[in-house]
Amino acid sequence: MRLDQTVDPQTTLQENSSGMIGCTVCGNKRLKPFFSIPELPVDVGRSFADESSALAAPMGNVELVFCHRCSHIFNRQFRSELITYAPGYEVALYHSPVFREFMKTVAQRLIDQFDLRNKTIFEIGAGRGWFLRLLCQLGANRGFGIDPAVPLSISCEQEVDHICIYRDYFDARFSERFRLIAPDFICCLSVFEHIPHPWHMLRELRTMIGSKPTSLYFEIFNAHAAFARTEVWSILYEQCSYFTPQSFAWAFQRAGFRIIQSGPCYQGDQYLFVEAATEGPPPQAVAEDDECGLDELTIPAALTQFTQAFADIQSSWQQRLGQFATAGKKVVFWGAGGKGVSFLNLLPAASVIRHVAESNPDKQGKYIPGSGQRIVAPPRPHRTALDRSSLQRHRSPRKHVGLRRAAYLTGTCSGHLLEPTGASGPP
């Protein structure tokens, strides 16, 4: 989620001195548009209390552009004032046992690698503080976090069990408090790609750190791999930055951090990570239109072909869902996360889907933004599973539990379909 407000939120994206929008990582002005979508919900982490409110959810346009200098991809039509990060915004993945196990492994590795024992940890975009608490419990550390959407019941101005999470945005206003916290280690997970001016945020962070030796761990969605796999439902409005390994590392280097290591992680390459550190005082500011010294890059074929690939996949799903509607079948979708919200809003035929199964109890009983489906609890394991028919190959097979008398779709990166066994009765 976006946690910086260092740029006027009433602008789309900051323009450089020539009046053109430059790359948000390197400032380069040579950008190539390659994909656009009108009207996606701007808040995939926000569920609505009733269907009418969900159908009236605010929408925003997406126009993705490629930077020929550093390979960064971002939404040139992004408008930060459309999004409100406040209590109730929910995108946490810790309800997944697989993800929890991955996070425990990451936490222990970071503790061992950076000797995070009896240290001070600071997390940007801490959410409910699940990962921050993990670092503190496993390493006997003291933790501070910041997040504008942290629930009121968790937000505090004083430490509770060695943890303190501030409900606010991370920007220059926080610099004095940051100086008092003086963290030894800073982490930021699944947040940086939601920041409209990522390099500005890193430069501000580097200035706040000053000369204190500090290590960092940032983890983001791997857009480079997603485009290569044609994950068309991975396009989200909030996710205004789509980093490649090259642009991700360069953002840190340009802001004055030393890269320790970087690469893919989680189920092969679903995420990218950077481990970095400071050395001495912050470097002098880099000119905003700095060319960053990289070679001229050609836009990858996966990007130039993405619009056609999207149209083909959209057409296939439209046909399949249309067949369900014609046959009077009931269809239930699995997953109220970002990919699921995109799927449901980008397919007119998805109106045949009336329910979305979701394991996050904070979303159950609410409605999907834009498309208006009701979110329900997952099916019980003892219910009869449906016959399975894969429309597109999913890259990592998983065990599915069917819903009685309903088609079952998963909100994953590719899409998996379970054929309906009957037409009558609610799921």
- Retrieve residue 110's tokens: 């970071």
Q: At what angle do helices 245-255 and 198-209 cross, to 10 degrees?
A: 40
Q: Which residue has the higher pLDDT, 292 or 118?
A: 118
pLDDT tens digit sequence for 158-176? 455 689 999 998 999 999 9
Q: Which residue has the higher pLDDT, 97 or 77?
A: 77
The whole-number average pLDDT for the span 302-327 is 94
Give the torsion through C-alpha atoms of 99, 103, 106, 108, to 10 deg: -140
The DSSP code for 362 is T
| pLDDT band, very low/low/confident/very high, at 53 (cuts 50, 70, 90) | very high
What are residue 392's phi and psi, to 5 degrees? -130, 145
Residue 369, pLDDT above cutoff 70: yes
Residue-level pLDDT at 160: 55
**73-75 vs 59-67, strand pairing mode:** antiparallel
The whole-number average pLDDT for the span 285-304 is 72
Residue-level pLDDT at 380: 63
- The CA distance from 103 to 187, in Å, is 13
Residue-level pLDDT at 419: 33
In the chain, the amino acid numbered 145 is G
Across 56-65, 148-157, 338-347, least confident range: 148-157
| pLDDT band, very low/low/confident/very high, at 156 (cuts 50, 70, 90) | low
Residue-level pLDDT at 153: 58
Q: CB 155: neighbour CB atoms within 10 A?
A: 19
Residue-level pLDDT at 396: 32
Residue 3, pLDDT above cutoff 80: no
Q: Which residue has the higher pLDDT, 268 or 295?
A: 268
Helix H or strand E encompassing 277: strand 271-277
pTM of the model: 0.83
Residue 5, pLDDT above cutoff 90: no
Q: CB 355: neighbour CB atoms within 10 A?
A: 19
Q: Are 311 and 230 in contact (CB under 8 A)?
A: no
The mean of the pLDDT values for the chain is 82
Q: In the chain, what are the domains?
A: 1-284+299-304 (3.40.50.150), 318-418 (3.40.50)
Residue-level pLDDT at 161: 65
Give the torsion through C-alpha atoms of 238, 205, 256, 80, to 10 deg: 20
Residue 427, pLDDT above cutoff 60: no
- The CA distance from 73 to 80, in Å, is 17
Q: Which range has the top average pLDDT, 8-17, 42-51, 397-406, 418-427?
A: 42-51
CA distance from start to end of the chain: 33
The whole-number average pLDDT for the span 228-243 is 95
- Retrieve residue 214's tokens: 């500090």
- The CA distance from 395 to 384, in Å, is 25
Residue 424, pLDDT above cutoff 90: no
Residue-level pLDDT at 420: 34
Q: Which of 55, 24, 61 is nearest to 42 (CA)?
A: 61
Q: Which residue has the higher pLDDT, 291 or 379?
A: 379
